[in-house]
Amino acid sequence: MKPGEGLLFIHPALGRLPYRWISHGRDAENKPLPLVLFLHGAGERGSDNHRQLSHFIPELLEKAEGQGLAFHLLAPQCPENAQWVETDWSAPGHKMPNQPSRALALVMALLETWRQRPDVNPARVVLAGISMGGYGVWDLAARRREWFSAAIPICGGGDPSHAETLSSLPLWAFHGDRDEEVPVHRTLEMIQAIRARGGNPRMTIFPGGGHDAWNPALRTPGLIAWMLESTKG
């Protein structure tokens, strides 16, 4: 896997955020490409600006190349003792904080800058995340629904009271039903709440699956094409 370019985002009020920017392939007509924002899990926190590439990304790049799909990838790294969403991951539920965590606020500021690049298609910005990053997907999608063409929360949890906001967002959620770190009902309750408000999200639950639902998720037929071909309506 090509590691892409290691960069450092500096915000005058919020601080610093290391991130990777990977441009994978190119459009035959040189058109702007989709952008995937990936939020990693708790085990990849730090400041080395590399650990966040450990999961999901290598297989995503490999499978996208096999399908001839080009895109940009933005992969920030959460600081060691921070969280994308400040909540207990094993809790039966949580309310979305009024303000994002500092780490997620940095991601929002970073994305606001990069989504305006001329080589990025702003109508095709995909949000994906695993575990702690799955929580980040639910949270960020609810705060900035208008930014995204699709969202893929994997083994995370959100606040069902924001289901109305999420009901218009193309969304595909994944979870293992034997997950001992984040209860599977965290995904089930979000999908049920969104459907109750007229949304049509997709959901795949892996029977007997543990916490690492990102591995079978990436092997799900049609997922990668679905996410990279999504367009804001």
Six-digit token string for 25: 């392939």
Look-up of token digits 């029977």:
207
- If pLDDT is split at 50, 70 and 90, which confidence band does 5 have? confident
Domains and CATH numbers, the chain: 5-229 (3.40.50.1820)
Q: Is the pLDDT of residue 60 over 80?
A: yes
Contact 182, 90 (CB under 8 A): yes
pTM over cut 0.75:
yes
pLDDT at position 79: 98
Tens of pLDDT, residue by residue over 196-206, are: 999 999 999 99
Question: pLDDT value at position 3?
Answer: 56
The percent of residues in the chain predicted with pLDDT above 70, rounded, is 98
- Can you list the alpha helix ranges (DSSP code H) found in the chain? 57-66, 102-114, 132-143, 163-166, 185-196, 214-218, 223-229
Q: Residue 28 pLDDT more than 70?
A: no
Which residue, 31, 100, 105, 106, is CA-closest to 72? Answer: 31
CA distance linking residue 126 with residue 148, whole number of Å: 6
**Cβ-contact 20, 47 below 8 angstroms:** no
User: Tens digit of pLDDT for each residue in 136-182?
Assistant: 999 999 999 999 999 999 999 999 999 999 999 999 999 999 999 99
- The H or E element containing residue 20 is strand 15-24
Chain centroid offset of residue 23 CA: 17
Q: What is the pLDDT of residues 71-122, one digit of tens each?
A: 999 999 999 999 999 999 888 999 999 999 999 999 999 999 999 999 999 9
CA distance 45 to 31: 34
Arithmetic mean of pLDDT over the chain? 96
Give the pLDDT confidence score for residue 4 in this predicted structure.
Answer: 78
